[in-house]
A = this chain, B = another copy of it.
Amino acid sequence: MNAPRRRADAAENRARILQAAREVVANAEEVRLNEIAKRAGVGQGTLYRHFPTREALLAEVYRKDVDDLVAAAPGLLAEHAPLPALARWLDRVAEYAKVKRGVFAAVEAGLWQDLSAHSLGPIGETLSTFLDAGKAEGTIRPDIDACDVILLLGYLTRLEPAEWDARAHRLLHVILDGLRHHA
């Protein structure tokens, strides 16, 4: 972590790539890696060196959004019972996914890589918080974990914009009902 050898220019390149990525994401609908590289004035090799996959890049670009989402969790848990709190939080997640479709897909994919590495990542951790609270209370079935929920939430990725309003919210409720522990 502490200052690997040649950080000066490498870090600058990394920053430039990120900057370029933000611009491209903001302006264009399509996010093409080589375009980002060109705009940042670096070769693809450099881009891929800093961000091994497209998901890694997008995840970094939107790290702040994820942080905001994560930060909202404790407040919800303090004010509501676990299940309603989770419902509200997922509403926020879904809202976000609606606006930033492509990004959400990327984040989800990245998240999936985290899971392979036996790390839940910030989103997974947050989900676990809700789930644990619900399990302790006895309202959430004890046999599921954050990974399961993420799997189910994946539908948000595939939902066409046109179908969004009609289905997203309702399906969230279906999932929440499924998570409920029927004593």
Chain A positions near chain B (C-beta within 8 angstroms): 112, 116, 141, 143-144, 147-148, 151-152, 154-155, 158-160, 163, 167, 170-171, 173-180, 182
Contact = CB atoms under 8 A, between A and B. Distances in A.
15 contacts: A141-B174, A144-B171, A147-B163, A148-B171, A148-B174, A151-B155, A151-B159, A152-B152, A154-B158, A173-B178, A174-B175, A174-B178, A176-B178, A177-B177, A178-B178
A152 B152 CA distance: 6
Given A112-B158, A155-B152, A174 B179 contact: yes
A154 B141 CA distance: 22
A93 to B, nearest CB: 16
A156 to B, nearest CB: 9
Contacts of A171: 144, 148, 151-152
Given A152-B152, A175-B175, A177-B182, 15 more contacts: A116-B160, A144-B170, A144-B171, A148-B171, A151-B159, A152-B174, A152-B175, A154-B154, A154-B155, A174-B179, A175-B178, A177-B177, A177-B178, A177-B180, A178-B178
Contact of A158 (B151, B159, B180, B182): B151
Contacts of A147: 163, 167
